[in-house]
Amino acid sequence: MYSLQIVTLFIIVSYIRSHPTQCREPSTLPTLSNDLLTQSVAILPGEEGMILRGLNSVEDTFIDITRQNISNHRNSGLQSCSVQATCQWHFVKNIDPNRKPKTIIEAQCSHSCCRRSESTCCDVNNGPGCTRCQPIYYYVHVLRRTGCDTVSRRYTYENKLEKVVAGCTCIRSPNVLRPILPTMPI
């Protein structure tokens, strides 16, 4: 009798190891944070912004972001600001099935060089003072799938901040050979 229980237990353990846990969505999700202070602190450089634990604390298996273009004819009103900008952008769908919401609309820079500055573009001329288009980011709270509870076989979710592109701007690299200007004596 005792040996039959051991054999049965061995078979069950072998079956569990050979068949990965199939998870499903939980019946209720955590409340999505709407803390505007946390979102605005995230843009600070250095450690101040790092304390917020964004995607770097999530396993790679739970990050599956793809971007899908949005056709311009439906969004012509949204494009008017971009058309006149030095760095044009277009809108894309940022899609990840491991996140709530699954789809976020964000901007994507259309060019790497600034308009009317092609001769000083960093892609062509990498000298001091060259210019390039740079994304402008903001942060949004999302529910991010972070694991699977093996007992309940339900996915676990956590509040995370994700960086999203709001638009693009033209930046100039620092001029490292800037001359020292004389100062006037007082």
Using only the alpha carbons of the chain, give its radius of gyration. 25
Nearest to 55 by CA among 69, 67, 65: 65
Query: What mean pLDDT is predicted for residues 64-68?
Result: 82
pLDDT value of residue 131: 86
Residue with tokens 């942060």, as numbered in its chain: 139
Residue spans of the domains in the chain: they are: 23-172
Residue of higher predicted confidence among 14 and 37: 37
Q: How many residues does the chain have?
A: 186
Superfamily of domain 23-172: Cystine-knot cytokines (2.10.90.10)
Only one residue has tokens 């060019």, namely: 111
> What is the largest distance, in Å, between two alpha-carbon atoms of the chain?
101
pLDDT at 21: 61
pTM of this prediction exceeds 0.85: no
- Candidates 122, 66, 70; CA nearest to 97 is 66
Summarize the confidence of residues 149-158 as an average pLDDT: 92
Distances from the Cα of 99 to the Cαs of 20, 58, 65, 68, 160, in angstroms?
22, 11, 9, 16, 10
Beta strand extents in the chain (DSSP E only): 66-69, 89-95, 99-100, 103-109, 131-149, 154-172
Question: Which pLDDT value is given to residue 132?
Answer: 87
Q: Is the pLDDT of residue 172 over 50?
A: yes
Q: What share of the chain is helix, strand, coil (3-state, %, to 5)?
A: 25, 30, 40
Strand order in the sheet with 154-172: 99-100, 131-149, 154-172
Q: Is a pLDDT exceeding 90 seen at residue 47? A: no
The pLDDT of residue 128 is 72
Report the range of poorest mean pLDDT among 3-12, 35-44, 79-88, 136-145. Answer: 3-12
Query: What confidence category does residue 142 fall into, taking pLDDT thresholds of 50, 70 and 90?
Result: very high
pLDDT higher than 60, residue 93: yes
The pair phi, psi for residue 145, each rounded to 5°, is -65, 125
Return the sign of the alpha-carbon dihedral for residues 97, 98, 104, 110: negative
Q: What pLDDT sits at residue 30? A: 85
